[in-house]
């Protein structure tokens, strides 16, 4: 039995390694796509942060409001004159920041307590506009508050009366949890990595044998079917595991290359996280290998099998989305659902939450059970005359 | 030694209401002794391949039995496979492996060590003239080149019994002669060789014993002379047409089950 497994494993590995085009595709998609996406996204977000921190504002007609100019100067805000046709510029997206427009008789109306109008011009569908809008609103409110306090004090009333309560902000999210939003990508790409890694090998060792007409002669050898299947499965599973490991390692490298300092501290994907990910992902990888082999065996040709394997990929890609739409939190049933379990527990790892033993062995047990069932079904299938001879 | 008795097998073609029961083999009985090349001849669709697949243990008979050296193809399938070399209808190779690696894979699966595998490969390569193919990947091989590798693969473990389904398909004249030479040599070593063909001349050139299969039954068997005498024909081809074309009940009533045969009688359908 062990001898046959070894022989099959050796042959399938040599066979797969000579399929250069497939290997190239796997490396490209699984190992590079994730990290590239991560770096691009991180760049985008750190650009966002720089905007939020920038102390500047576009104002049209600042000369009409010396009071506001004084307020801005005291708060060390830089005033930039608005471009001539700012409204067109904003509409066209050439100017993404909001522009504050001062009304004609601002000073006179302010002096009379007549509530002069300032207009904020912006296009909030531009994702880059948000920080500048919030900044402008904060400035206007701050100016308002100051004028209010001065007026009330002038009338001999304590300004404290105007602030009946104080809002103190206390955010319990750790820096790790703030970064976890970004790191949703890592579980997702490692799930996809497991699929991509095993797909071509799973098809080649099952439907490929049928299409080539090599299955019938192979089965005339005096070998136990379980040994043959286990040998093939080990090949496919190791492909899957290798790609998962590769994806995770490339992410670990990518998180160190992320430019922004703030994001860099948020993305803590170091060796401990890497090890936990591996523990969780490897059972999933060998389960996916078995399932893909099972469905691919129904395919008479490589192409047909690709369609069937695509169904599995669809399910695996869909299941983690449940966590996005249905906000399930810390229930235990999802540990029984492959893909979902991985997504949920990996998210906890990244949030820095505590992970119990059950979070490892429950997904591991379900994956092993499903693998065993899939391999058993595969064995039954390979005994069917319709599969052996049906070409 | 290969024996089959009263082998039967049906298939269901189509699905649902269109499903049709096809009687592929309806009671085939014959024996292929050691040291003899036995030829299984019959028109297309006569049940030759299904019969060989049942001997090769991959198809389970509905009833009847097939034995190889006395071992039943169902009860001791692994033992039968050990004693059998099969060149099946499907003879696909692994295209990214070289010819040698293809053959070696089967040798290893059968538990042979690499030294004896390589020795066998060298010997077979000389016999069927494929030494220059050995280190090439089989992708792009011609049909004849692929066939040579498949034959070597089936023979790598030096089986006592050999089952060949249409072995000369796709071979050129030189290779066909080399194959015949090889089969005769194996016969002289006392091997049991059972081959199927739909080409009468092919079988006549090689086989001492011929079994004619038609409509899923063995309708006649014997040497070429015996078959001609049995059909009252002067040439082998005429004998074949007579024997394979007639409804079984009239030619060999003792072999038939007496059941009416639904398939149309293929009188003279054979070239």
A193/A80 same-domain check: no
Asked if A391 and B153 come within 8 Å (Cβ–Cβ), the reply is no
pLDDT of amino acid A39: 75
Mean pLDDT for chain B?
86
Pair A88, A182 in one domain: no
Same domain (yes/no): A192, A146: no
- Mark whether A83 and A22 lie in a shared domain: no
From start to end of chain B, where are the E strands? 2-13, 20-32, 36-41, 63-68, 71-72, 84-87, 161-165, 192-197, 209-214, 217-222
- The tokens describing A285, both together, are 């990888």
Chain A residues close to B138, C-beta within 8 Å: none
Instruction: Tell me how close the Cα of B154 comes to any Cα of chain A, in angstroms.
Output: 8
Among A115, A130, A162, give the residue marking a domain's end.
A162
Q: Where residue B253 falls among pLDDT bands split at 50, 70, 90?
A: very low
Q: CB neighbours of A108 closer than 8 A, spacing ≥ 6?
A: A114
CB burial class (10 A; 0-12, 13-18, 19+) of residue A29? middle
pLDDT on residue A185: 73
Residue A232: its chain B contacts at CB < 8 A?
none
For residues A59 and A40, state if they share a domain.
no
Residue ranges in chain A whose pLDDT is less than 70 = 45-52, 171-183, 258-268, 323-331, 391
A and B: number of Cβ contacts within 8 A = 76
Domains of chain B: 1-83+160-271 (3.40.50.300), 88-158 (no CATH)
Same domain, A123 and A187: no
Residues of A in contact with B137 (CB under 8 A): 18
Q: What is the pLDDT of residues B138-164, one digit of tens each?
A: 999 988 899 899 999 999 999 999 999
Mean pLDDT of chain A: 84
Same domain, A8 and A80: no
Per the domain annotation, does A167 fall within a domain?
A: no
Band the pLDDT of B122: cuts 50, 70, 90: very high
B103-119 mean pLDDT = 95
The interface residues of chain A toward chain B in range 242-271, judged by CB-CB distance below 8 A, are none
Q: Which domain holds residue A66?
A: 54-162
Q: Domains in chain A: how many in total? A: 2
Q: Which range, A222-231, B202-211, B221-230, is most confident?
A: A222-231
Same domain, A317 and A185: yes
Residue A169 lies in a domain: no
Question: Which chain B residues touch A216 with a CB distance below 8 Å?
Answer: 58, 88-90
User: Which residues of chain A from 320 to 379 reach within 8 Å of chain B, CB to CB?
Assistant: none
Separation of alpha carbons B117 and B126, rounded Å: 14
> Does the model's pTM come out above 0.90?
no
Give the model's pLDDT for residue A123.
87
Closest listed residue to residue B46, CA positions, set B168, B169, B162, B212: B212
* Higher pLDDT, residue B259 or A49: A49
Among candidate residues A162, A195, A222, the one where a domain is terminated: A162
Binary contact (A7, B101; C-beta < 8 A):
no
Q: Can you tell me the distance from the alpha carbon of B134 to that of B145, in angstroms, rounded to the nearest whole number?
A: 10
Write down which residue in A137, A162, A187 finishes a domain: A162
Quote the CA–CA distance of B233 and A70 in Å, as a whole number.
124
CB-CB under 8 Å, B58 with A219: yes
Tokens of A329: 């939190």
Q: Does B78 contact A222 at a Cβ distance shorter than 8 Å?
A: yes
**Chain B: residue whose CA lies nearest to A16:** B96
One domain, residues A307 and A384 = yes
Task: Specify the pLDDT at position B15.
Answer: 77
Give residues 6 to 65 of A whose Cβ lies within 8 Å of B. Answer: 7-8, 11, 14-15, 18-19
How far the first Cα of chain A sits from its last, in Å, is: 29
| Greatest extent of chain B over all pairs of C-alpha atoms, in Å | 56
**Same domain (yes/no): A92, A187:** no
Length of chain B, in residues: 271
d(CA A372, nearest CA chain B) in Å: 24
In a domain, A187, yes or no: yes
Q: Does A306 reside within a domain? A: yes
Query: What whole-number distance in Å separates Cα of residue B240 and Cα of residue B227?
Result: 8
Interface confidence: ipTM more than 0.90: no
Task: Evaluate whether residue A214 is within a structural domain.
Answer: yes
- Residue A235 lies inside a defined structural domain of this protein: yes
Terminal CA-CA length for chain B: 31
- Which of A:222-241 have CB within 8 Å of B? 222-224
Q: Across the interface, which of A7, A217, A222 has its CB nearest the CB of B108?
A: A7
CA B76, B78, B83, B89 dihedral sign is positive
DSSP state of B98: B
- Give per-residue pLDDT as tens, B26-76: 999 999 999 999 999 988 888 899 999 999 999 999 999 999 999 999 999
Strand runs (DSSP E) across chain A, as ranges? 56-60, 78-81, 99-102, 118-121
What's the pLDDT at B265?
Answer: 43
Which two structure tokens, joined as six digits, stand for A373? 């069932």
Check whether B248 has a pLDDT greater than 70. Answer: no
């Amino acid at each position: 039995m062990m001898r046959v497994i070894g022989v099959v494993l050796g042959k399938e590995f040599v066979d797969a390694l000579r399929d250069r085009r497939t290997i190239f595709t796997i490396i490209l998609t699984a190992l590079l796509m994730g990290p590239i996406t991560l770096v691009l996204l991180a760049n985008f977000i750190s650009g966002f942060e720089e905007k939020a921190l920038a102390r500047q504002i576009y104002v049209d007609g600042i000369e009409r409001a010396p009071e506001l100019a004084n307020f801005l100067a005291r708060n060390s805000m830089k005033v930039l004159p608005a471009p001539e046709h700012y409204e067109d510029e904003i509409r066209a997206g050439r100017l993404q920041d909001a522009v504050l427009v001062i009304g004609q008789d601002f000073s006179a109306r302010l002096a009379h307590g007549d509530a002069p109008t300032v207009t904020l011009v912006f296009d909030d569908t531009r994702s880059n506009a948000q920080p500048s809008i919030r900044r402008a609103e904060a400035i206007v409110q701050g100016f308002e508050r100051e004028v209010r306090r001065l007026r009330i004090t002038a009338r001999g009333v304590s300004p404290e009366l105007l602030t009946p309560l104080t809002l103190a902000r206390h955010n319990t999210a750790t820096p790790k949890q703030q970064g976890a939003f970004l790191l949703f990508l890592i579980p997702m790409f490692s799930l996809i990595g497991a699929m991509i890694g095993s797909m071509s090998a799973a098809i080649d060792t099952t439907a490929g044998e049928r299409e080539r007409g090599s299955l019938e002669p192979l089965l005339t050898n005096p070998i136990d079917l379980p040994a043959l299947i286990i040998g093939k499965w080990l090949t496919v599973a190791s492909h899957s595991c290798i790609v998962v490991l590769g994806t995770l390692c490339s992410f670990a490298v990518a998180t160190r290359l992320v430019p922004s300092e703030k994001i860099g501290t948020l993305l803590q994907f170091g060796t401990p996280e890497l090890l936990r990910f591996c523990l969780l992902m490897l059972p999933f990888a060998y389960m996916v290998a078995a399932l893909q082999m099972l469905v691919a065996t129904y395919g008479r040709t490589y192409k047909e099998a690709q369609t069937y394997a695509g169904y599995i990929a669809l399910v695996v890609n869909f299941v983690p989305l449940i966590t996005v739409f249905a906000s399930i939190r810390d229930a235990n049933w999802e540990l029984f659902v492959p893909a979902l379990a991985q997504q949920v527990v990996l998210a906890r790892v990244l949030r820095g939450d505590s992970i119990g033993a059950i979070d490892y062995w429950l997904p591991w047990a379900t994956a092993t059970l499903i693998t065993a069932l899939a391999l058993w079904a595969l064995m039954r299938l390979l005994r069917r005359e319709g599969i052996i001879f049906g070409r | 030694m290969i024996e089959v008795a009263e082998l039967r097998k049906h298939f269901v073609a189509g699905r649902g209401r269109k499903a049709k029961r096809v009687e592929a083999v309806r009671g085939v009985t014959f024996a292929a002794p050691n040291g003899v090349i036995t030829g299984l001849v019959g028109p297309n669709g006569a049940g030759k391949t299904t019969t060989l697949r049942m001997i090769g243990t991959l198809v389970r008979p509905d009833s009847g039995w097939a034995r190889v050296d006395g071992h039943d193809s169902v009860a001791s399938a692994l033992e039968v496979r050990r004693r059998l070399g099969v060149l099946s209808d499907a003879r696909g190779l692994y295209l990214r492996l070289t010819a040698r690696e293809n053959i070696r894979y089967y040798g290893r699966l059968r538990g042979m060590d690499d030294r004896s595998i390589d020795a066998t490969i060298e010997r077979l390569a000389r016999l069927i003239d494929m030494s220059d193919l050995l280190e090439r990947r089989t992708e792009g091989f011609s049909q004849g080149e692929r066939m040579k590798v498949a034959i070597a693969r089936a023979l790598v473990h030096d089986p006592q019994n050999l089952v060949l389904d249409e072995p000369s398909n796709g071979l050129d004249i030189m290779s066909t002669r080399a194959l015949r030479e090889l089969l005769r040599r194996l016969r002289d070593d006392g091997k049991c060789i059972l081959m199927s063909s739909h080409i009468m001349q092919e079988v006549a050139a090689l086989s001492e014993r011929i079994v004619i299969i038609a409509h899923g039954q063995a309708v006649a068997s014997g040497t070429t002379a015996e078959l001609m005498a049995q059909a009252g024909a002067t040439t082998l081809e005429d004998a074949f047409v007579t024997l394979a074309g007639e409804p079984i009940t009239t030619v060999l009533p003792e072999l038939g089950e007496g059941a009416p045969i639904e398939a149309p009688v293929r009188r003279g359908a054979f070239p």
